[in-house]
Homo-oligomer: A and B are copies of this chain.
């Protein structure tokens, strides 16, 4: 295994862990039991990558390597044990941002490495980054990240776009991946910190019958 591969694998597990933790935190907010913690952690942690693998026709990554599920279980137990005093709503949003930034690169990288068209690879990055959180929100009965006004999908799109563009230009993939990660995290972080948002649709279709 080359150091580059190892870097992506560590990146991948780290993304699963932090995203899994956001799932467990969503369960914590409603005071669920430990099994639901684990279920939410697993769905949020591997949901996006699962959709990516199904769409590009790759074997689903965690089925043959259940270590990913064990990482999610560990994240759930960690959230449970560390408890409420340590974990706050703000942390949920920031962990989610880190997981999103990592996933938009990891998802696009896997698609590129399997020969997927660069445009579709960008989309795979966005789906990998956003779909776990979308599933978490749908299952938790909360408004999806897609409906919040703050920039979210845009950050994943920018990160995946930067990575795929640089990688297509021949830049070293770990460098390209780092750039994509930083861009996505900077945009999402700015949105969280300064409440950035894109302008909404200016029309008012409902008020004009």
Contacts and interface: CB of A to CB of B under 8 A. Distances in A.
A200 B119 contact: no
Nearest to A39: B153
A: interface residue count bin: 35 or more
A204 interface: yes
Interface string A103-135: 000000000000011011001000000000010
A59 B57 contact: yes
A119 B66 contact: yes
Taking chain A's interface residues, is the majority helix, strand, or loop, or is none over half, making it mixed? helix
Contacts of A54: 54-55
Interface stretch (A11-19, A23-31, A176-184): A23-31
A28 B69 contact: no
Which one of A57, A65, A87 has the highest number of Cβ atoms from chain B below 10 Å of its Cβ?
Answer: A57
Contacts of A205: 25, 28-29, 84, 87-89
A52 B176 CA distance: 35
Contact of A198 (B25, B33, B157): B33
Contact of A200 (B32, B50, B116, B202): B32
Interface stretch (A1-9, A94-102, A138-146, A167-175): A138-146
Contacts of A147: 30, 32, 36, 139-141
Interface of A: 25, 27-37, 39-40, 42, 50, 54-57, 59-60, 62-66, 69-70, 80, 83-85, 87-89, 116-117, 119-120, 123, 134, 138-141, 143-144, 146-147, 149, 151, 153-154, 157, 197-206, 208-209
15 contacts: A31-B204, A32-B200, A35-B157, A36-B146, A36-B153, A54-B54, A57-B59, A65-B117, A66-B119, A69-B120, A84-B201, A84-B208, A138-B138, A141-B144, A141-B147
